[in-house]
């Protein structure tokens, strides 16, 4: 489990095919001072996708991404040098500053626009229509693993405000309209919708 509070901005250092080449090993450079202490098998959210650390060294770690993950998220478009939002898994006693995030992306959305609004930037995203019904004003959503509050919803689009601090410590600082993003809907919304279907 994660909170959607990104703690580092990593960089793809290498991409290595595994087996028949459909799966990939991603080596990610991370600025955490204790990267070497990451235990093998640890879960790390990489731009919103929960992945398992399979190799660890000072300054970097490696994860394996299956063909399914590569096809259903933005990971398949990553190249050497791509920036990655990173968050290590939640521990008992950690501050829950965002919202409960599983790291299981529900789909790929698209950044539509970015507009300066007072001291922040209003980002608008388009999501696959089946996901749109789960997104509500003042609800939570994770975009590339970043916990955000929804400020507007219209059809298959929603808007969020990103403050300068968030932009400076996440991939929002280099994001541009047209970029694809990993979307995870609020876990609570998913279960409420499921309960509504069965009653």
Q: How many domains does the chain have?
A: 2
pTM above 0.85, yes or no: yes
In whole angstroms, give the CA distance from residue 152 to residue 71. 29
185 and 150 assigned to the same domain: yes
192 and 116 assigned to the same domain: yes
Question: Is residue 178 in some structural domain?
Answer: yes
Name 139's Cβ contacts closer than 8 Å, sequence gap at least 6.
Answer: 149, 150, 186, 189
18 and 59 assigned to the same domain: yes
Q: pLDDT tens track of the chain, all 199 residues? A: 999 999 999 999 999 999 888 999 999 999 999 898 899 999 999 999 999 999 999 999 999 999 999 999 999 999 999 999 999 998 888 877 889 999 999 999 999 999 999 999 999 999 999 999 999 999 999 999 999 999 999 999 999 999 999 999 999 999 999 999 999 999 888 777 777 777 6
Residue 199: what pLDDT?
66
Question: Is residue 95 in some structural domain?
Answer: no
User: Phi first, then psi: what are they for 160, rounded to 5°?
Assistant: -135, 155
Residue 92: what pLDDT?
80
In whole angstroms, give the CA distance from residue 140 to residue 73. 20
Question: Is residue 23 in some structural domain?
Answer: yes
Question: Is residue 56 in some structural domain?
Answer: yes
Question: Is residue 21 in some structural domain?
Answer: yes
111 and 194 assigned to the same domain: yes
Residue 134: what pLDDT?
94
128 and 164 assigned to the same domain: yes
Q: What is the CATH number of the domain that holds 83?
A: 2.40.30.20
Task: Report the DSSP pairing between strands 180-185 and 157-162.
Answer: unpaired
Question: Is residue 136 in some structural domain?
Answer: yes
Give residue 152's domain range: 107-198
Counting DSSP H helices and E strands in the chain, the numbers are 4, 12
139 and 75 assigned to the same domain: no
Question: Is residue 114 in some structural domain?
Answer: yes
Residue 186: what pLDDT?
92
Question: Is residue 93 in some structural domain?
Answer: no
Give 73-76 contacts, CB < 8 A, sequence gap 24+.
Answer: 73/48, 73/49, 73/105, 73/108, 73/182, 74/47, 74/108, 74/144, 74/180, 74/181, 74/182, 75/24, 75/26, 75/46, 75/47, 75/49
In whole angstroms, give the CA distance from residue 85 to residue 148. 14
52 and 111 assigned to the same domain: no
């Amino acid at each position: 489990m994660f909170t959607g509070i990104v703690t580092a901005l990593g960089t793809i250092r290498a991409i290595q095919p595994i087996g028949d080449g459909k799966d990939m090993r991603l080596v990610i450079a991370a600025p955490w001072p204790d990267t070497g202490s990451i235990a093998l098998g640890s879960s790390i959210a990489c731009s919103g996708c929960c992945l398992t650390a399979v190799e660890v060294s000072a300054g970097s770690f490696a994860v394996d991404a299956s063909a399914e993950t590569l096809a259903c998220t933005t990971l398949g478009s990553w190249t050497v040098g791509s920036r990655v939002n990173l968050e290590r898994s939640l521990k008992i006693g950690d501050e829950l500053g965002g919202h409960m995030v599983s790291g299981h992306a529900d789909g790929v959305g698209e950044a539509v626009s970015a507009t300066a609004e007072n001291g922040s930037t209003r980002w608008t995203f388009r999501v696959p229509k089946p996901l749109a019904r789960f997104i509500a004003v003042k609800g939570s959503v994770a975009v590339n693993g970043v916990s955000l509050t929804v400020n507007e919803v219209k059809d298959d689009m929603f808007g969020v405000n990103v403050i300068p601090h968030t932009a400076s410590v996440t991939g929002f600082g280099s994001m541009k309209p047209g970029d694809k993003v990993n979307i995870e809907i609020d876990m609570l919304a998913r279960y409420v919708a499921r309960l509504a279907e069965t009653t």
